[in-house]
Chains A and B, each alone.
Chain A
Amino acid sequence: MSIKNSVNISLSVNGESFDNVTVPTRQHLADFLRSQGLTGTHLGCEQGACGACTIEMDGKAVRSCLILASQANGSLITTVEGFDDEVMEKVKINFLKHNAFQCGFCSPGMLMTTKEIISSKKKLSRDEIRSEISGNYCRCTGYQSIVDAIEESINEIN
């Protein structure tokens, strides 16, 4: 069955090159990544409201369900599978320590938002941390342990 409208894209994901891949024009970036086996990026709403699909594109946190794969041509993407630098390793240790996740479905997006918080180098209060993660829905934790983990990460790293 042919795809009526398609586009060829080339991009880099977690350091891996995808060259001249044909994607349906309507396919969003989250679905593209998941179709390539990078299933760490999750879909919670496809509306941009829950934050589960948040990834890093060209150095910035974005909602991958609100970007067409077509738009990612030439981009540098990092997903949760590629969060393995020293800073993120420390963050993950704190997330584990504070049990800042239960089912784990929100975690990839939450970690991406945390990555941006840490990169900003700002020392945030708990209220300010809550404001920064206010676009990431978590149904399990009630957010407190996530704030604990981010607070400790900020203190440790910045």
Chain B
Amino acid sequence: MDDMKVNQNPKLGSIDRPNSYIGRSLPRENAKKHLDGGGQFVDDLVLPRMLHVAFLRSPFAHAEIKSINVDEAKKSSGVFDVYTAKEIDEFCKPWVGTLGHLGEMRSPEQTPLAKKTARWQGEPVAVVIANNRAQAEDALELIEVDWVEKDAQVDMETALDENAVIIHPELGNNLFWTRTVNQGDVVKAFEESHEVVETTLDFARHTGVTLESRGIVADWNKAETKMTIYHNGQAPHMMQHIIAKHLDVNEGLVRIVSRDVGGSFGIKVHVYPDEMAVAAISKKLGRPIKFIADRLESFTTDIHARCHKISGKLGVDKEGKILAMEINDLSGIGPFSMYPRTSAIETNQVLNLSGAPYIIPNYKAVGTVVFQNKTPMCQYRAVGHPIAVAITEALIDKAATKIGLTLDKIRKINFIPDNAYPNKCPSGVPLEDLSHQASMDKLLGMMNIAEIEKQKEDDLAKGVLTGYGVIAMCEVTNPSPLFYGVGGAHISSQDGASIRLEGSGAIHLSSSITEQGQGTEAIMKQIAADQLGVSMDTVRVTLGDTDATPYGGGTWASRGAGIGGEAVLKAARTLKNNILDIAAAIMQTNKDTLDIENNVVIRKNGEEGISLQKLAETVYYRGHEIPKGTNPELLATASFLIEGIPFVFTNSAMGCHVSIDQDTGIVKINKFWAVEDCGTQINPKLVEEQIKGGVVQGIGGALFEECVYDDQGNMQNATMADYLVPMAYEMPDIIVDHVTTNSGRSIIGAKGAGEAGTGGAPAVIMNAINNALGKVGSEVTSQPITPEKILKSMNKI
């Protein structure tokens, strides 16, 4: 693999060293097993005496459960037993998906299985335990439920109306949470504006569709009173606490193991009632219990996200400088707020991040989140960003048209300048180390807009509608305790790394960050080997096991490289320091004359050194040879967390060029560009791949993906053939480049890069489509932007 642009972060040492790995696009040797069929996913696990479960799920969005008769089901071939809420509740305490730091938030208690009422289509109400999944499913058909179907609240826009169906009578209405952000005086500012533009956008519910579905094997060992859970989740320590708390197990005797995970994207960071039921069953029976969600139940039970209707208003002065921005956002969640991160975060990020790249002195944002009888909703890759960026960038494009500025010019005159940090979002959230100006300039250089504009006219003459868009955005990464912990969640913001030199000369590293394919193991290895001075193949890594790794938060909110990576760097430097202390003592010289290169402690003057293997052998086997007073600690642990600010932000500029078939309404994305500033890139290739994969996931939301519901609250397209995910043929090649502004918060200077693609793509695609449709006097305001919506906007239907 050709080395890509090598990192220039001077704090990390010279790039001319033989073991300079940070900043290089090294292939992931540890991941090669996936090409040989050697992955270890949860469904691959078989344990002795393991049983399988299948859940009976409510076919109704809202129904009373008068009675459940499981007698016939119990007699079905291969069935061990059948449980309802009665049996499960004995072993699992209910939970509430609220936190204390976001104002008043109301959500009722939730149990693993529904008790008297089912409140969404897909909610589990009974569970069959059998020898295999097929036999469990046979038994499901024999469970008799006396359902009384109720009216369902399916429309979020009427959820707060007088005659809405109140999902939780004890709450009085369907309001889950609301928040208002008010900076300055928008009313006055709009009055003073030269032009005011408005729009209302809506975004359809959609979901993650991880190729590997959710899965869990819970194994309660009665003799050891130990619960081991094999889980394809993202945050094992969070799960450790939750299992301990709700299943009444000593937290130190809960072990969560996350091996290979087939994609997560936030879907697998939440607590699911069916998975909790599985843990409860194992505790009750003292046997391993396996549950793998099949694809059909994944669609109706994995969290959904991004159902918003948002109106926005932007006021600009004569020169096009933004004076005010106002948004009003409505979002519909499920009947419960998800645990433990709450279903308020997506809207909160919309309120926090709208207008983020720009100087907007007056900003008002109102967010309302309501309950619905639909699948529960929660954080999914780029939480809230697609909506925040889309509303901001759509308004800016409209203002540009009204004022007569080009799309890039209006943005450039409103950006927070690159030299004006630290600064704040319009909402007040602190910002540091960003580069909107440089990134936009770089993007423009890549796109050649003059040529695109000229081509647009030529195309139109031939009857082909083309358009382009450019956007700027900030991405939330590397969160601090001010994200969840402050509200009472046992979600760690601090991550750790442990590193040791073994008797063989091998290096073992463990980290509390987890891997779902983004390359966590690879970058940790690169950092450790780089900072220690050893070859890559010397280092082996343990992740995803609460028994064997330091305590920490896991992987979400793009925090792995910036937080976990810094912990690895610190631990590696400490170990190096210890090694040099010992080497100096053994070699009877000054530590300053030594370094480590290619697994050898070398003398800087070129004289003979000592290999790490020999040094380790001396320490472990012949300690008597080491001078008295030396502290031969060949093990180091370090941790890191972000302090004082809620997040470390990155920034991106994105552009795209689209063609619209005026007969069919089909949109083709001809080209897509992304400039990402994520600070230090530990492995540029892996960063690039996060951007590309993220963009395609964003294209899904922009053009294809939607959970379609009928007015009874039944999902209509809950199969892999009917729910449209991006497949290869329709996707563009994406061109990625970078600006680098290292984060001043850490030595490694890395920020996150996992979500920008998904956060920005929907906005830039919508703007490009409207740029094209503008030529024929129409526009679209609803995602996914389907061919039918395009043709409707053109009055062809």
Chain A interface (Cβ within 8 Å of chain B)? 1-2, 4, 24, 26-27, 34, 38-47, 49-50, 52, 79-81, 83, 92, 95-99, 101-108, 111, 126-127, 130-131, 133-147
Contacts and interface: CB of A to CB of B under 8 A. Distances in A.
Nearest to A143: B728
Contacts of B1: 97-98
B790 interface: no
Given A105-B211, A137-B211, A40 B36 contact: yes
Contacts of B734: 142, 144
Contacts of B797: none
B517 interface: yes
Interface stretch (B560-568, B645-653, B657-665, B719-727): B719-727
Contact of B41 (A92, A105, A137): A105
21 contacts: A1-B77, A42-B262, A44-B213, A44-B295, A92-B35, A96-B31, A96-B32, A101-B35, A102-B517, A103-B211, A104-B34, A107-B35, A126-B733, A127-B729, A133-B728, A136-B727, A139-B211, A139-B263, A140-B263, A141-B696, A143-B728
Contacts of A42: 41, 211-212, 262
Contacts of A111: 35
Given A44-B295, A102-B519, A134 B27 contact: no
B52 to A, nearest CB: 12
Given A2-B77, A103-B263, A105-B41, 12 more contacts: A24-B134, A34-B44, A39-B43, A45-B720, A46-B294, A50-B295, A101-B517, A102-B516, A104-B517, A140-B517, A142-B689, A143-B727
Contact of A39 (B37, B131, B208, B721): B37
Nearest to B733: A144
A108 to B, nearest CB: 6
A73 to B, nearest CB: 20
Interface centre among A42, A83, A133, A139 (most CB of B within 10 A): A139
B731 A99 contact: no
A96 B727 CA distance: 21
Lowest 5 A-B CB distances belong to which pairs? A40-B37, A104-B34, A103-B517, A105-B262, A142-B696
B728 to A, nearest CB: 4
Interface string B513-545: 000111100000000000000000000000000
Given A47-B295, A133-B728, A142-B697, A105 B720 contact: no
A44 B37 contact: no
B74 to A, nearest CB: 13
A57 to B, nearest CB: 16
Contacts of A81: 36-37
B211 A50 contact: yes
Nearest to A2: B77
Interface in B665-723: 685-686, 689, 692-697, 719-721
A136 B731 CA distance: 13
A140 B44 contact: no
B212 A44 contact: yes
Contacts, number: 176
B216 to A, nearest CB: 16
B43 A43 contact: yes
B606 interface: no
Given A102-B689, A103-B261, A139-B211, A80 B37 contact: yes
B265 interface: yes
B262 A143 contact: no
Interface of B: 1, 27-29, 31-39, 41, 43-44, 77-78, 131, 134-135, 208-213, 260-263, 265, 294-295, 516-519, 685-686, 689, 692-697, 719-721, 725-729, 731, 733-734, 757
A104 B260 contact: yes
B518 to A, nearest CB: 6
Nearest to B208: A139
Listed residue (B721, B728, B734) with the most chain A CB atoms within 10 angstroms of its CB: B728
A101 B517 CA distance: 8
A106 B31 CA distance: 13
B340 to A, nearest CB: 25
Contacts of B693: 102, 139-142
Q: Which of B211, B294, B694, B726 has the most CB of A within 10 A?
A: B211
Contact of A103 (B516, B696, B719): B516
B738 to A, nearest CB: 17
B551 to A, nearest CB: 25
Contact of A47 (B28, B43, B134, B721): B721
Given A105-B262, A134-B727, A44 B720 contact: yes
B35 A141 contact: no
A104 B721 contact: no
A99 B517 CA distance: 10
A134 B728 contact: yes
A21 to B, nearest CB: 16
Contacts of B31: 96, 101, 104
A130 B208 CA distance: 22
A55 B14 CA distance: 47
B3 to A, nearest CB: 12
Contacts of A47: 295, 719-721
Given A44-B212, A140-B263, A142-B697, A135 B516 contact: no
Contacts of B213: 44
A145 B401 CA distance: 37
Contacts of A141: 689, 692-693, 696
A97 to B, nearest CB: 5
A99 B27 contact: yes
Given A46-B294, A103-B263, A142-B693, A137 B727 contact: yes
B728 A147 contact: yes
B382 to A, nearest CB: 14
A42 B610 CA distance: 48
Of B34, B43, B729, which is in contact with the most chain A CB atoms at under 10 Å from its CB?
A: B34
A123 B146 CA distance: 61
Nearest to B134: A26
Contact of A40 (B28, B39, B295): B39
Nearest to B693: A142
A154 to B, nearest CB: 15
Which of B1, B38, B210, B727 has most A Cβ within 10 Å?
Answer: B727
A93 to B, nearest CB: 9
B36 A139 contact: no
Contacts of A52: 211
Contacts of B517: 101-105, 140
Contact of A134 (B260, B263, B729): B729
Contacts of A40: 36-39
A58 B517 CA distance: 32
A144 B726 CA distance: 12
Nearest to B686: A99
Contacts of B729: 127, 130-131, 134
